[in-house]
């Protein structure tokens, strides 16, 4: 029996009068990799934001690992622990170092020890060949290192096999 990681059933969302998601149906199996393509402004990011409930949809069902995130804050937290999202504009905290940006969520959300979180973060910074950036403040002007670091928080998330990107 295939286990669905994400299931969307007739999902509709509006921003005011603007009908941004219209009858979206999607089934993503565990381990499946899926690319969602579409014109700019067609609603790809909105759809992903709805999956981990950064946005609310008004109609239809979204089920993540058998759970509907609409069912209370606890469920939403559970889902956010496993659904990673790489933001288009990286969204790093500009007053924190790269290392602090990478370790913030694992320490606060996953209750990882600081040292362990830093070890994992350094592992990924080595993987993207910018370990020397660890102690630097993550200004948006950082250029390509910011892009590489933008990807690291998702990797830090260590999603099992159902990261939505």
Ligand X SMILES: Nc1ncnc2c1ncn2[C@@H]1O[C@H](COP(=O)(O)OP(=O)(O)OP(=O)(O)O)[C@@H](O)[C@H]1O
Q: Are 88 and 81 in contact (CB under 8 A)?
A: no
| Closest CB to ligand X among residues 91, 132 | 91
Cα→Cα distances 87→49, 147, 149, Å: 10, 10, 11
Quick check: helix, strand or coil at residue 129?
coil
Closest separation between CB of residue 156 and ligand X, Å? 23
42 binds ligand X (CB under 6 A): yes
Closest contact distance (angstroms) between CB of 13 and ligand X is 9
Of 21 and 63, CB closest to ligand X? 21
- Pairing mode of beta strands 4-15, 18-29: antiparallel
The answer to whether 38 contacts ligand X (rule: CB under 6 A) is yes
The verdict on 148 binding ligand X (CB under 6 A) reads no
Stretch that binds ligand X, among 34-42, 95-103, 126-134, 137-145 (CB under 6 A): 34-42
- Cα distances (angstroms) measured from residue 163 to each of 48, 125, 131: 11, 19, 24
Q: Are 150 and 86 in contact (CB under 8 A)?
A: yes
Q: What are phi and psi of 72, to 5 degrees?
A: 95, 160
Which residue in this structure is represented by tokens 């592992």? 123
Figure out which of the listed residues 40, 115, 141, 144 binds ligand X, where binding follows CB under 6 A. 40
Picked from Mg ion, ligand X, none, the partner binding residue 27 (CB below 5 to 8 A depending on kind) is none
Region 42-61 residues binding Mg ion, contact defined as CB under 5 A: 45
Give residues in contact with ligand X (CB under 6 A).
15, 20, 38, 40-46, 88
């Amino acid at each position: 029996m295939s286990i669905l990681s994400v299931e969307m059933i007739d999902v509709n969302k509006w921003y005011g009068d603007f009908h941004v998601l219209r009858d979206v149906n999607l089934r993503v199996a565990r381990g499946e990799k899926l690319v969602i393509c579409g014109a700019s402004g067609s609603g790809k990011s909105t759809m992903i934001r709805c999956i981990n409930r950064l946005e609310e949809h008004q109609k239809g069902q979204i089920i993540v690992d058998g759970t509907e995130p609409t069912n209370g804050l606890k469920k939403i937290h559970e889902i956010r622990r496993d659904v990673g999202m790489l933001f288009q504009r990286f969204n790093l905290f500009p007053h924190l170092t790269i290392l602090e940006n990478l370790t913030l969520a694992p320490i606060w959300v996953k209750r990882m020890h600081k040292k362990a979180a830093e070890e994992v973060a350094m592992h990924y910074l080595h993987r993207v060949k910018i370990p020397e950036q660890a102690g630097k403040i993550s200004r948006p002007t950082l250029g390509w290192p910011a892009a590489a670091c933008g990807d690291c928080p998702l990797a830090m998330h260590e999603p099992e096999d159902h990261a939505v990107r």
